Homo-oligomer: A and B are copies of this chain.
Amino acid sequence: MKLLQQTILEKGTVLPNGVLKVNTFLNHQIDTGLMIEIGKEFAERFTDSNINKVITIESSGIAPSFFAAHTLDVPLIFARKKKSLTLKDNVYTSQVFSFTKQETSEITVAKEFLAENDRVLIIDDFLANGQAAQGLIDVVKQAGASVAGIGIVIEKTFQPGRQILEDKGYRVESLARVQSLQDGQITFLQEQISVTN
């Protein structure tokens, strides 16, 4: 997605520890116009997948998934990272390890929001090692529902997340695929385009 790649190049920064910082438009300050385009792009890519629910993880997943759910005309659910007082026993939970934060958090989804016949689109802001996506897959499967696909805003192709998910048979759609952050330079994967002619 060109607009996203341009924004990452213009506004993203690479921290010394290799973290791609996108907090001016994605996960602290939000560019709502860009998020709407991102949401529409996800909806278009999965338009034929009979999706009836979109699921993400708080907080950074909410903005990019908002318009995907809206365009597909289905509810958006965000998994919570901690049990709340108003979420008691009737929840599915899974463990998600964050390499960035070096901590494990428990994600929680109320059972009432997932049903056996659901076809769920998982959306998240980053795909690196695939931990968050696998936590969401786990939750969807506990409900007996199926994962119709996984939409990612920014994929780090030099980390194993996509391979792990594809090996399990899931379709992964990433809107920006970062091949390298070496020496503070952001390089995108040059995707093969097959031209018929």
Residues on A facing B (Cβ under 8 Å)? 15, 17, 19, 21, 23-24, 28-33, 35-36, 58-59, 62-63, 66-67, 69-70, 75-78, 80, 84-87, 100-101, 109-110, 112-113
Contacting residues, chain B, for A110 (C-beta < 8 A)? 23, 28-29
Least Cβ–Cβ distance between A63 and chain B, in angstroms: 6
Contacting residues, chain B, for A28 (C-beta < 8 A)? 77-78, 80, 87, 109-110, 113
- C-alpha spacing A23/B110, complex, angstroms: 9
What does DSSP make chain A's interface, helix, strand, loop or mixed?
mixed
Least Cβ–Cβ distance between A120 and chain B, in angstroms: 12
- C-alpha spacing A185/B142, complex, angstroms: 34
Task: Count the copies.
Answer: 2
Contact in complex: A86, B63 (CB < 8 Å): no
Contact in complex: A101, B85 (CB < 8 Å): yes
- C-alpha spacing A109/B29, complex, angstroms: 9
Contacting residues, chain B, for A15 (C-beta < 8 A)? 86
- C-alpha spacing A50/B115, complex, angstroms: 45
Q: Which 9 A-B pairs have the closest CB atoms?
A: A58-B59, A32-B70, A59-B59, A30-B76, A62-B62, A29-B77, A29-B113, A21-B86, A29-B75
Contacting residues, chain B, for A17 (C-beta < 8 A)? 85
A–B Cβ pairs within 8 angstroms, 27 of them = A15-B86, A17-B85, A19-B85, A21-B86, A23-B87, A24-B112, A28-B77, A28-B78, A28-B110, A29-B75, A29-B76, A29-B113, A30-B75, A30-B77, A31-B75, A32-B67, A32-B69, A32-B70, A32-B75, A32-B76, A33-B70, A35-B66, A59-B59, A59-B80, A63-B76, A66-B66, A85-B100
- C-alpha spacing A30/B58, complex, angstroms: 12
Contacting residues, chain B, for A19 (C-beta < 8 A)? 85-86
Taking a contact as CB atoms closer than 8 A, the residue among B31, B86, B113 that contacts A100 in the complex is B86
